């Protein structure tokens, strides 16, 4: 199979297995509106996703955005909404309509997919750095605070609360950290997707002074081994420009892009 055939196979698997319900395992509720899934998460967060827009024209896109926003604006507990777009979708005028509706786009991320076995390799770690899976509340809060700092966000309990809530489901999600001298220096999570061959690797963050030393690579390999032990053969990730080159060197394929658009009340 050549590169273009591999990319097409992975993208088809992504569209068929990883969109809508597979994206929202911790949702409080999901409402269907035409092709849209209007999702409500904890802490007043709305999330819009879909498998495709059914060949919609610009007028239909404009109506779908208006209807989705009316749904969330009618719920006073919703304080922010993310609309998840994909670069390979047929969605005429969606960018312009979202901007008109008060959304702001984040930086695009690469949708990376590949064989779990390609990532599951032996990796050396710097002296004094160890990897472990964490489940205790104190560790989860330390991990979340580190990720907030790395991503440039104010440290808040919000993500830790959501992760602890998710761990209570015992649905296979795993949290992994790399530590040195009692400090968490890198972290990420593994999310096996029920009913599919996929496991996602998410939330990868490494402190700046520890980058370029193979820690994220080792953390990724450890999560891939865990995915394989659960019968998952494919890995997916929405990757920033920091992590994308590492995953590409490991054999993952950039099949498309995804751009989150964000609205706040």
| pTM, two decimal places | 0.88
> In residues, how long is the chain?
265
Q: Are residues 128 and 167 in the same domain?
A: yes
Q: How many domains does the chain have?
A: 2
Residues 235 and 132 both lie in one domain: yes
Q: Give exposure, 42-54, as e/b (b: 16+ Cβ within 10 Å).
A: ebbbbbbbbeebe
Q: Look at residue 8 and tell me if it is in a domain.
A: no
Please, what sign has the CA dihedral across residues 192, 198, 199, 201?
negative
Q: Is 217 left (phi over 0), alpha (psi -120 to 50) or beta?
A: alpha
Structural domain contains residue 148: yes
Q: Give domain status of residue 3, yes or no.
A: no
Is the dihedral angle over the CA atoms 260, 86, 244, 108 positive or is it negative?
negative
Does 40 share its domain with 138? no
CA angle (46 as vertex; 147, 93 as ends), nearest 5: 105
> Cα(160)–Cα(119) distance, rounded to whole angstroms?
27
Q: What is the 3-state secondary structure (H, E, C) of 219-231?
A: HHHHHHHHHHHCC
Show which of 85, 110, 135 is a domain's final residue. 110
Please check whether residue 197 lies inside any domain of the structure: yes
60 domain residue, yes or no? yes
Ranges in the chain, pLDDT < 70: 1
DSSP conformational letter for 93:
T
At 197 the pLDDT is 94
Look up the domain containing 59 and give its range: 18-110
Task: Name the β-bridge partners of 190.
Answer: 174, 201
Please give the pLDDT value at position 25. 83
Residue 139: what pLDDT? 97
List the beta bridge partners of residue 132: 177
User: Which CATH number fits the domain that encloses residue 245?
Assistant: 3.40.630.30
pLDDT given at position 114: 94
Judgement on whether residues 236 and 221 belong to the same structural domain of the protein: yes
209-256 pLDDT, tens digit per residue, is 999 999 999 999 999 999 999 999 999 999 888 788 888 888 899 999
Secondary structure (3-state) at 25: coil
């Amino acid at each position: 199979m050549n590169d273009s055939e591999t990319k097409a196979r992975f993208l088809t698997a992504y569209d068929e297995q990883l969109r809508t319900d597979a994206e929202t395992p911790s949702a409080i509720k999901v409402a269907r509106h035409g092709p849209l899934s209007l999702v409500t998460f904890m802490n007043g967060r709305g999330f819009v996703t879909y498998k495709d827009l059914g060949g919609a024209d610009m007028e239909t896109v404009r109506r779908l955005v208006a209807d989705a926003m009316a749904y969330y604006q009618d719920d006073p507990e919703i304080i922010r909404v993310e609309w998840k777009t994909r670069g390979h979708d047929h969605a005429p005028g969606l960018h312009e309509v979202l901007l008109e509706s008060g959304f702001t786009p984040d930086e695009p991320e690469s949708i990376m997919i590949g064989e779990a076995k390609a990532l599951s390799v032996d990796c050396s770690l710097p002296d004094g750095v160890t990897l472990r899976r964490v489940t205790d509340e104190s560790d989860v809060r330390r991990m979340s605070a580190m990720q907030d700092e790395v991503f440039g966000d104010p440290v808040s309990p919000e993500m830790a609360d959501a992760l602890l809530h998710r761990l209570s489901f015992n649905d296979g999600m795993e949290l992994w950290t790399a530590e040195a001298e009692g400090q968490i220096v890198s972290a990420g999570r593994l999310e096996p997707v029920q009913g599919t061959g996929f496991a996602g690797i998410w939330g990868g963050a490494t402190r700046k002074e520890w980058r370029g030393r193979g820690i994220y690579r080792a953390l990724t390999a450890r999560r891939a081994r865990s995915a394989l032990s659960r019968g998952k053969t494919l890995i997916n990730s929405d990757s920033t420009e920091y992590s994308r080159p590492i995953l590409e060197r490991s054999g993952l394929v950039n099949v498309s892009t995804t751009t989150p658009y964000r609205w706040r009340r």
